[in-house]
Amino acid sequence: MKKGLKKTQREGWLTLLALVIIAIAVSIGFAPLFELVKGGTAGAFVGSSFGAIFVIILTMFLLNKQTEIEQESKKSERVFDEKVKIYQEILDICSETLKDGKLTYHEMNKLPFPVIRLQMLGGDQTISSFQKVFEVINEIYSSSDDDEVEIDEESKVRIYRMLSEFASLCRMDIGISDLEIEPKILQDTMDSITKSIKKDKDYSKFSFDGVDLPKNRYVYEVIKNYISENPGMSKKDFEEVFPRSMKELPGGRKNDFEIWKTYAEAIELHKLKGSRRYFVSGKGKSKEYLTNKDLVISLADEEICISNQWSIDSLVPFIEIMNNKSIRTK
């Protein structure tokens, strides 16, 4: 198709060049020639011949341009249809993945080929936008050796936001609009999505020292209390009791999902990915994440931050592990 279009364009330009040459030749040579034949039938014949030749070449040029436009139109229609299909396929796969809040081996195997097709048909900005989504999904899935990995709430919201930005660029790429979705509309959409996600959130409470606490704060208090009961504990001593990753927990809690990180690691993770997965600053102080350290726990030789991402599936085995180590959980 592309070669045929280039050939048509080349022929069109050659025809146009011929028209220009004929026009110049006629303007220069028609008057002397007409004077030579001295009008009459011969003059009429010469005039009509030049006119016919000019009209024929002009018609050829117009037909050539029409063919070029039709070829370009057919190509654009086909590319448009294919782009819509691939964008829809990618969003459908992501929709299936996010609905149940879990990433499976089967779902991960669905994405690579649509991504490759996206590289063939999509615009550079659109490809780059979804590549970021794919990187986050891969990061979550690689955090565990299991074939099924849970997507926490923060990651869900992050993926939804990136997919919204991707959809905005798809909209531009297929010509529905010349502009990205207005930031306010995008933010309103994200607020609605975030609220809908939080409706399904598990608000189970766990009691510690007579206070009912949400899951993540309960884990924080259990660990903090153990440290206070064992003053002078080093990072090495702490890690023997609370390893960063516990194989008994769903997913093992690896990489960005570890049970705890040093303060420096938590801040670095925030700077790189905008993550607030670890207790650093208190409620209502999220804007002070880089400056406020009221929830950072101090050991003898290190500052640590406890994960604030805990599901009910992780908390039950965590309590069992603590009880087996004779660590107070009530």
| Phi, psi (rounded to 5 degrees) for 301 | -130, 15
Question: Residue 174: is its pLDDT beyond 50?
Answer: yes
pLDDT at position 78 is 77
Q: For residues 241 and 327, is the Cβ–Cβ distance under 8 A?
A: yes
Question: How many C-beta atoms lie closer than 10 Å to residue 326's C-beta?
Answer: 6
pLDDT at position 223 is 92
Q: Which of 24-38, 73-87, 216-230 has the lowest average pLDDT?
A: 24-38
Q: Render pLDDT for 98-112 as a digit per residue (tens, 0 to 9).
A: 776 777 777 777 778
Can you tell me the distance from the alpha carbon of 296 to that of 23, in angstroms, rounded to the nearest whole number? 85
Q: Where are the alpha helices (DSSP H) in the chain?
A: 2-37, 40-99, 105-110, 112-121, 124-141, 153-173, 183-199, 215-229, 235-241, 263-273, 312-324
Mention every residue, 6+ apart, whose C-beta is less than 8 A from residue 251: 143, 144, 146, 149, 150, 257, 314
Binned at pLDDT 50, 70 and 90, residue 36 comes out as: low
Considering only CA atoms, which of 173, 175, 191, 174 is closest in space to residue 183? 191
3-state secondary structure of 22: helix
3-state secondary structure of 104: strand
Considering only CA atoms, which of 280, 140, 288, 143 is closest in space to residue 216? 280
Tell me what percent of the residues of the chain surpass a pLDDT of 90: 5
Domain ranges of the chain: 1-75, 100-201, 205-324
